[in-house]
Chains A and B, each alone.
Chain A
């Protein structure tokens, strides 16, 4: 078994809540180490209360087992994941599915004014005439915005 085979298998696992992107697109696989049959995966959770985390872990174990390997998933409880780890392909897939991808992280944490006034593009019509409706949305990772051009509410991935 090779590292590449494991990465390929992980790239086939959809995110349980936003199935248009894979775990590799999401950037939650920090490292893969293969030693004989033993496969160690370093996994960085996204939002700490996300119920999808357990499912992701199980799917990764199943994928390694299907390759004939013995999985060990190490969950890293540090801050090595941020929304900047979502790959460019992942961002594009999010947009196509109607989720505005997260804005890149700035040097300082986001401020209220910035959330309300910064330019965020509508994933449906591309207009920048959008406003913040609610900092919180259907899951902890999303905010709700409204496009005043096409009059469509949409979900924006929070920047963390």
Chain B
């Protein structure tokens, strides 16, 4: 695997986890009930933790910077996150759960593949991430059982399905279609982030941009 391909693989995954973590944290304090405040906040914390570890590997690959410089010092157009994770879904609970179920299903497929990677460092970090992702999937499964017959949930899945396919490389998409039980359609690819992302980026990097370089916390 070329260094470039390895770096892109790390950044695709890390950017997805960072941005989804950010979006999940938007439910903190305003979820439909307290248990879900706690759940989405915890899931957000895990995802951002995964992003940090992946960025650390990426920084080593680049030979400069650290997790924070990659997470917060890039221009908005340099992020590689999938359109699915960029969507701001608060306060729509049905869409939030649809994204949660679709993302975790797609993520499981790519983590499984990464666990079998010939590069032991990538395989090792994937196995570590997987230990925590199991609980995200159980949480998603619990909600899927509750909402699967709700028309609003079905509409949300229909709408987000092209986005979900865009999380994965094309060769992994048939596996997702099979697990979700939907036909493959044209996917929304990772392209330059749109306006919704620009607002998120602005908020996410505000502290970093306003602090003097080298500030210690």
B-contacting residues of A (Cβ < 8 Å)?
Answer: 45, 47-50, 77-79, 81-82, 109-112, 115, 133-140, 144, 158, 160
Please, which residues of chain A bring their CB within 8 A of the CB of B127? 78-79
Interface residue B65 (Cβ < 8 Å from any Cβ of A): no
Choice from A47, A111, A115, A133 contacting B132 with Cβ under 8 Å = A47
Cβ contact within 8 Å between A49 and B46 = yes
Given contacts A50-B49, A77-B125, A112-B141, contact A137 B38 (CB under 8 A): yes
**Which residue from chain B places its CB closest to the CB of A158 in the assembled complex?**
B135
Which A residues are CB-close (under 8 A) to B141?
A: 112
Bound complex: CA A158 to CA B125 (Å): 19
**Bound state CA distance, A138 and B121, in angstroms?**
31
The segment out of B50-58, B152-160, B199-207 that lies at the interface is B50-58
Closest Cβ of chain B to A56, distance in Å, is 14
Q: Is the CB of B50 within 8 A of A77?
A: no
B87 within 8 A of A: no
Of all chain B residues, the one with the shortest Cβ separation from A75 is B56
Of the candidates B38, B50, B142, which one forms a contact with A48 in the assembled complex, judged by CB atoms under 8 Å apart? B50
Nearest CB of B to A143, in Å: 8
Given contact pairs A50-B49, A140-B46, A160-B131, enumerate 12 new A-B contacts (beta carbons under 8 Å). A47-B132, A48-B49, A48-B129, A78-B127, A78-B128, A110-B134, A136-B42, A138-B38, A139-B42, A140-B45, A160-B132, A160-B134
Interface of A is mostly: loop
**For the complex of A and B, 8 pairs with smallest distance between CB atoms:** A49-B49, A78-B124, A48-B49, A79-B127, A136-B42, A160-B131, A79-B128, A136-B39
Provide 25 A-B residue pairs closer than 8 Å at the C-beta atoms, listed in order of the A residue: A47-B49, A49-B47, A49-B49, A49-B52, A77-B57, A77-B125, A78-B121, A78-B125, A79-B124, A79-B128, A79-B130, A82-B131, A110-B134, A110-B138, A112-B138, A134-B35, A135-B142, A136-B35, A136-B42, A137-B42, A139-B42, A140-B42, A140-B45, A140-B132, A160-B135
CA of A133 to CA of B124 in the docked complex: distance in angstroms?
A: 32
B97 to chain A, nearest CB (A): 14
Nearest-neighbour CB distance to chain B for A121, whole angstroms, equals: 21
Q: Which residues of A contact B142 (CB under 8 A)?
A: 112, 135
